[in-house]
Amino acid sequence: MTGGEGVVVENVCKSFSGAAGTVDVLQSVTMKLAGGEAVAIMGPSGSGKSTLLHLLGGLDRPTSGSIAIHGRRPAEMNPKELSLFRNRIIGFVFQDHHLLPQYSVLENVLLPAYALGRPPADAQGRARGLLEDVGLGHRLHHRPAELSGGERQRTAVARALMNGPRLLLCDEPTGSLDTANASAVGQLLLDMHRREGNILVVVTHNPDLAARFTRRFQLVEGRCSAA
């Protein structure tokens, strides 16, 4: 699978050095995800879930081991290639939605389309469509401060899908939502995954959300195992 579709993680280790010494956050993590697959990664706080997600998204580089996404290795890319890769291939949804407060909902969703300069002609149409899909068609020109927590996270989902990513990475997407909203957002992610056909990786503490995934991984003290 290394040269084909899917995600291949082999013996990935990640350490952080600090004043208190070196901390091994991930230890020889190995996993393989096929195209169109949806997985949940679970584990206690500090187990390295978000770190693994960042490595998958090319936001960070492993200390050792390799990660291949659809046959490409982000760790070997130069910054320009990496930016292009993230923009075209990866979609992120963070626990804290990280919407830009000075832009409207529609503009926030459009931002990934503008990352490389001139946006595609149909960018606005796609953004509006995605927002309709996530139930925010009536909130296009509102600012993030005027949205509820669930609405903000749905906006973040729409933004993550804007460029049609083949790998959607979600870091505690329901972490700061109430049960109802968390359930709704979880369902939205799965629905959109099915519609877009991408690989969905969700890091979560939420057992209800994890239960909706057919394949789950458990991370404990940096070591990954199938749950």
Partner 1 sequence: MFRGLIYHRRSHLAVVLATAVVTAVLTGALLMGDSVRGSLQDLAVNRLGDVDLALVSPRFFREDLAGDLAGQARFSTQFHEAVPAINLDGSAAHAGSGRLAARVKILGVDHRFLDMVGAGFTIPPRESGRQPAAIINAALAAELDAQVGDDLIVSFARFDAIPRETLLGRRAPEEVTGRLRLILAEVIPDTGAGRFGLTPHQGTPLNLFMDLGELQRRLDRPSQANSLFLSGRDGQGDMADEAQAAAAVASAGTLLRAAMTLSDLDLELHRQGDVVALQSREFVLRPHVEKAVKAAAADLALPLRPVQTYLANTLRSGDRQVPYSTVTAIGGPAAAPPFLPLLLADGRPAPDLQPDQILLGAWAAADLQAEVGTRVKMDYFVVRDNEALDVESREFTVAGILAENGLAMDPGLTPDYPGIADAKHISEWDPPFPVELDRIRPRDEAYWDEYRGVPKAFFAIAAARDMWSTRYGHLTSIRLGLPDGGDGLDALEQSILHHIDLAPYGYNFRAVRAEGVAGARGATDFSQLFLGFSLFLIVSAAMLVSLLFGLGVEGRSREIGLLLALGYSLARVRRRFLAEAALLAVAGVMAGTGLGVGYAAALMAALRTIWRPAIGSSRLFLHLSWPTLVMGAAGALLVTLAAVFLTLRRVSRRPVAALLAGAVGPQATKPGGRISLAMAWGGLLLAVGLTATAVLSGQSSSPGLSFGTGAGLLMAGLAFFSRWCRRHERPGGVGNLSLAGMAARNSSWSPGRSILSMALVACATFVVITVAANRLESGGQEGQPPPGAGGFALLAESSVPLYQDLNDPGDRFELGLGGQAAAALDDAQVVSFRLRPGSDASCLNLYAPGAPRLLGVPPSLARRSDFVFQKTLSETNDPWSLLEGELEPGVIAAAGDAASVQWILHLGLGQDLVMQNEAGETLRLRIVALLRGSVFQSELLISEENFLRHFPSRSGYGYFLINAPPSVTGEVAAALESGLTRFGMDVVATRQRLAAFQAVQNTYLSTFQTLGGFGLLLGTLGLGIVLLRNVLERRGELATLQAFGFSRRRLARMILAETAFLLFLGVALGSGASLLSLAPRLLAGDLVLPWWSLGQTLGLVVAVGLLSSLAAVRSAFRAPLLGVLKAEN
> Which residues in this chain contact partner 1 in the complex, by CB under 8 A?
45-46, 49-51, 54, 57, 59-60, 79-80, 83-84, 86-88, 92, 94-96, 98, 100-104, 106-107, 110-112, 114-116, 119, 124, 141, 143, 145, 159, 163, 171-172, 175, 203, 205
Exposed/middle/buried for 12, CB within 10 Å: 0-12, 13-18, 19+? buried
User: Which of 75, 58, 77 is CA-nearest to residue 66?
Assistant: 75
Nearest residue to 58 (alpha-carbon basis) of 47, 69, 43: 69
Q: How far is the CB of 105 from partner 1 (least distance, A)?
A: 11
Q: Which is nearer to partner 1, 159 or 193 (CB)?
A: 159
Q: Copy the structure tokens of residue 169.
A: 């990475």
Q: How many CB atoms lie within 10 A of CB 216?
A: 17
What one-character DSSP code corresponds to residue 120?
P
Q: How far is the CB of 12 from partner 1 (least distance, A)?
A: 17
Nearer Cβ to partner 1, position 1 or 100? Answer: 100
Residue 88 tokens, joined: 């075209």
What minimum distance in Å lies between the beta carbon of 1 and partner 1? 25
By beta-carbon proximity to partner 1, the closer residue of 73 and 103 is: 103
To partner 1, the closest distance from the beta carbon of 44 in angstroms equals 9
